[in-house]
Structure 1
Amino acid sequence: MSTITANNEAIAFRDVKAVWNSGGNLDVITDLVSDDFVYHNPMLGEPGRGADGYRKQAETFRDAFSDIEMTVDEMIAVDDAVTIRYTTRATHDGELLGVEPTHANIEITGILVNHLEDGKLKAMYVNDDALGLIEQIGAVEPPEKAVLSR
């Protein structure tokens, strides 16, 4: 593994631990992201842009969920890209997407695809179990399980 690839892994891992875990420090965002950074999370609509946009979107989740613990299950780094498969556990203690706190314990899995340039995060793409999350906080009722027949 090249030094650049190892450094990119360390930056992506630091982002998970500082930005997404409730015990982290959002002030590190300015050190981690480029000026033209773009955070793509389909659940939130428009992408977050730059450090301020990313911080605002991270605060949305950290305000809605206490005791967030995001675990890196797998990390793969190639050149300027770092992909992380993760599991997040938390408690729904604040409003999210118009849903008042349910105090439900949630668990979701997802994948982050990070692109880095010159030692900074340039773009992040989130693909997670958004439907599972909104089901767990009671925003939608899960469909009845279908019985498949041949």
Structure 2
Amino acid sequence: MAVTTRDNIDIVRREIEEVWNGDDRDAIPDFVTEGFVYHNPMVDEEIRGPGGYRHLIEEYREAVRDFEMTVEEMFGDGDRVATRFTTRGTVEGELRGVEASGERIEVTGVVVDHLSDGKIAERWVHDDALGMLEQLGAIPDNR
């Protein structure tokens, strides 16, 4: 049975709910391929495979224990799914090289996932990194 666009949207939604919001790191291999690649301008190098992805998630979840991602909108076309999201949480540990601030942050962005055989093969994240760094106090807010 072929995987439909609707199936792919459901897979991405479940990955967000179970892995990111539910903090079920053991479920990562259920959602990403062995050759998974994660791209994000805030990350120095591409993250590869379920193990690399787990390490990234652990970094975020340890720094932002009350992390929550809200899906604002999702749509797909074949093996591609786009998600507009908002993340929120209180930064209690070092995050992306910035010391813990104790501040509650809110970051918006878009993720584009490419799926293969019912799993996420590649993820492109584009979020408001500047806004996040301003909220963390790492750079001055010039607005």
Range class of TM-score, shorter chain = over 0.9
Deviation at 1:142, TM superposition (A): 1.5
SS at match of 2:111: strand
Partner in structure 2 of residue 16 of structure 1: 16
Change (3 A) 1:4 1:43: same
Computing the radius of gyration over CA atoms, which structure comes out larger, 1 or 2?
1
Count residues with an aligned counterpart: 142
Moved over 2 A (4+): none
| Deviation sequence 1:68-114 (CA, Å, 0-9, x none) | 11000000011000000001110001111222211100001000000
Partner in structure 2 of residue 148 of structure 1: none
Partner in structure 2 of residue 105 of structure 1: 104
SS at match of 1:45: coil
SS at match of 1:75: strand
Partner in structure 1 of residue 65 of structure 2: 66
Partner in structure 1 of residue 76 of structure 2: 77
| Deviation sequence 1:9-65 (CA, Å, 0-9, x none) | 1110011112222x3301111111111110111101101101001111111111111
Stretches of structure 1 that go unaligned for 5 or more consecutive residues are 146-150
Moved more, 92-101 or 69-78: 92-101
Deviation at 1:3, TM superposition (A): 5.7
Query: TM-score under structure 2 normalisation?
Result: 0.94
Question: Whole-Å Cα distance in 2 between the matches of residues 107 and 138 of structure 1?
Answer: 13
Do the aligned residues in 1 keep the contact of 2:3 with 2:118 (CA within 8 Å)? no
Task: Let me know the Cα RMSD of the aligned residues.
Answer: 1.3
SS at match of 1:107: strand
Partner in structure 2 of residue 118 of structure 1: 117
Partner in structure 1 of residue 88 of structure 2: 89
Stretches of structure 2 that go unaligned for 5 or more consecutive residues are none
Query: TM-score under structure 1 normalisation?
Result: 0.90
Partner in structure 1 of residue 128 of structure 2: 129
Partner in structure 1 of residue 36 of structure 2: 37
